[in-house]
């Protein structure tokens, strides 16, 4: 019987084939499952990213809404605060006007102080009518006929140069055609210390910041020429006239190369934009400060203000400066005030005070200072200015500053000054040194040992140096390094009259010290 073949190998191979099929199917399923998982995760991440973007967008919108609400609230708060400030200012102004109306003395103080402190164009001119006529004609030729020119107004401080130009400009601007076309540029040598600053100020006053803001120029002359070119509207007759007022004109002459003055005067001599250059200065030698090229382009027209009026006109100025205007609210008080001013002008003591003031200085500025000091004493209980007020104000104006310094010295320093005074009397104004002054002081102390304390020499030396610091004494020669301080020659900067006047007003001055000052070599 033949041996049967076993099925074990066939079954094994079939099982392996089945396992391979199952394994292959599992790998495919696993790959597809993994793919499905990857797609699901990618979709989930995309959804989360979209949610985050939406959340950020919503948060940004919320923040923007909150910022707008905060801005609106801040704006409302600032508007409310601004309104409250404006309302408070309005109420304060109304209260001040009500007080001024109710109390005429405060109104008097306000009106007269504005008149004394500011060069108002509403006040009258005194003694410069001829110069005013020439100046207004020159300005009208520039503003109306397009004629360029230049002029210097020369006069001492307080002579009315600024008031003169203010009056002329005020009258010029009252002409309707002129006020719409003429431009003004005011420069001051104390403020515009160089040409660059002056050019910026010209640009600002002519409202040309936007025109020259993005421009780049090679030189100052090109920049200035462009500014003046920007004012042109056609030919010479239709261009905008410009009036340049240069206060403290002599300081502009110290600018480098005098470029500003050169270009202004050069344009005033050419057929460009019609300009008028008006310089105000207190230096008589101003033309000597100008360069040759600048001087050749200047018209050499000068106006001199010298306060040529006499004392009768000075008395008239005094009355006009103190009188109240016709539009004063309290008519009755204004009449009484003006009557009091008229009585003051007729008072002999007041005339003597004004005469002394007139002899010292004709400047209206010094007169305004005198009247300001007298006006400060006007109160409700003291409603009008009196002759005593003017006399006291005159004393304050004429007070010696060095005598006031003596009032604040110690008794030891007063004694040293008296010793120096006696040395000047003995040696006929010859210089002295510390040792000589100390010896004179010791002689006085030995005679009056019961009333004057004997100070040590270093203390006296310290007081002597303090007098030198106060510039009551000064060294005759330059101080040498090797020279002893005790023997350095000095000179007293006070005269006998100043010393005696100061001693009379010195508080609690010992009697022996005062007698020593009035004695004549009695201690020898």
DSSP 277: E
Q: Are 200 and 220 in contact (CB under 8 A)?
A: no
Cα gap 260→270, rounded to integer Å: 16
* Alpha helix segments (H runs only) across 213-330: 220-230, 249-252, 259-268, 286-289, 292-297, 311-322
Cα gap 261→267, rounded to integer Å: 10
Which SS3 state, helix, strand or coil, does residue 304 take?
A: strand
Q: What is the 3-state secondary structure (H, E, C) of 494-517?
A: CCHHHHHHHHHHCCCCCHHHHHHH
pTM score > 0.85 for this model?
Answer: no
Q: Are 131 and 305 in contact (CB under 8 A)?
A: yes
- pLDDT value at position 40? 84
- pLDDT value at position 523? 43
Cα gap 468→487, rounded to integer Å: 14
- pLDDT value at position 280? 94
- 129-142 pLDDT tens trace: 888 899 999 998 88
CA-closest candidate to residue 515, choices 453, 452, 461, 456: 452
Q: What is the 3-state secondary structure (H, E, C) of 342-364?
A: HHHHHCHHHHHHHHHHHHHCCCH
Q: Are 434 and 461 in contact (CB under 8 A)?
A: yes
Give pLDDT < 70 ranges for the chain. Answer: 1-11, 14-15, 18, 21-27, 70-71, 73-79, 94-103, 119-124, 209-221, 225, 228-238, 271-272, 449-452, 479-483, 520-524
- pLDDT value at position 18? 66
- pLDDT value at position 462? 92
- pLDDT value at position 205? 86
CA-closest candidate to residue 304, choices 513, 489, 159: 159
């Amino acid at each position: 019987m033949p041996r049967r073949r076993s099925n074990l190998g066939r079954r094994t191979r079939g099982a392996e084939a089945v396992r391979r099929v199952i394994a292959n199917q599992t790998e495919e399923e696993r790959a597809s499952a993994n793919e499905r998982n990857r797609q699901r995760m990618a979709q989930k991440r995309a959804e989360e990213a979209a949610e985050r973007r939406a959340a950020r967008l919503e948060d940004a919108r919320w923040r923007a809404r909150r910022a707008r609400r905060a801005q609106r609230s801040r704006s409302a708060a600032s508007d409310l605060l601004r309104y409250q400030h404006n309302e408070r200012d309005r109420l304060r102004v109304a209260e001040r006007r009500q007080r001024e109306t109710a109390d005429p003395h405060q109104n008097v103080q306000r009106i007269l102080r504005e008149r004394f402190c500011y060069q108002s164009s509403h006040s009258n001119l005194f003694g410069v009518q001829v110069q005013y006529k020439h100046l207004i004609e020159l300005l009208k030729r520039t503003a109306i006929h397009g004629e360029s020119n230049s002029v210097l107004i020369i006069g001492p401080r307080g002579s009315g140069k600024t008031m003169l130009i203010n009056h002329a400009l005020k009258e010029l601007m009252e002409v309707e055609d002129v006020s719409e076309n003429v431009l003004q540029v005011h420069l001051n040598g104390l403020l515009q210390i160089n040409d660059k600053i002056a050019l910026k100020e010209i640009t600002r006053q002519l409202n040309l910041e936007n025109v020259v803001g993005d421009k780049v120029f090679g030189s100052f002359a090109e920049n200035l020429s462009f500014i003046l070119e920007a004012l042109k509207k056609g030919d010479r007759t239709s261009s905008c006239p410009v009036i340049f007022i240069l206060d403290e004109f002599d300081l502009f002459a110290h600018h480098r190369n005098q470029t500003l003055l050169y270009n202004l005067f050069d344009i005033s001599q050419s057929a460009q934009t019609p300009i008028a250059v008006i310089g105000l200065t207190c230096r008589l030698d101003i033309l000597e400060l100008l360069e040759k090229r600048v001087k050749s382009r200047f018209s050499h027209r000068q106006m001199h203000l010298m306060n040529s009026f006499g004392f009768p006109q000075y008395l008239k100025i005094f009355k006009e400066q103190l009188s109240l205007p016709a539009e004063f609210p309290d008519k009755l008080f204004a009449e009484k005030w003006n009557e009091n001013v008229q009585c003051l002008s007729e008072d002999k003591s007041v005339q003597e005070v004004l005469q002394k003031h007139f002899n010292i200085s004709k400047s209206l500025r010094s007169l305004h200072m005198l009247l300001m000091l007298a006006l400060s004493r006007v109160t409700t209980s003291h409603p009008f200015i009196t002759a005593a007020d003017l006399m006291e104000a005159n004393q304050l104006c004429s007070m010696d500053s060095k005598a006031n310094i003596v009032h604040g010295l110690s008794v030891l320093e007063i004694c040293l000054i008296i010793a120096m005074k006696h040395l000047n009397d003995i040696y006929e104004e010859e210089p002295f040194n510390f040792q000589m002054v100390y010896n004179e002081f010791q002689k006085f102390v030995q005679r009056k040992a019961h009333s004057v304390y004997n100070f040590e020499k270093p203390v006296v030396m310290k007081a002597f140096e303090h007098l030198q610091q106060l510039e009551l004494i000064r060294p005759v020669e330059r101080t040498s390094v090797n020279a002893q301080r005790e023997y350095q020659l000095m000179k007293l900067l006070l005269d006998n009259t100043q010393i005696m006047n100061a001693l009379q007003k010195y508080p609690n001055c010992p009697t022996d010290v005062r007698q020593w000052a009035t004695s004549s070599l009695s201690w020898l």
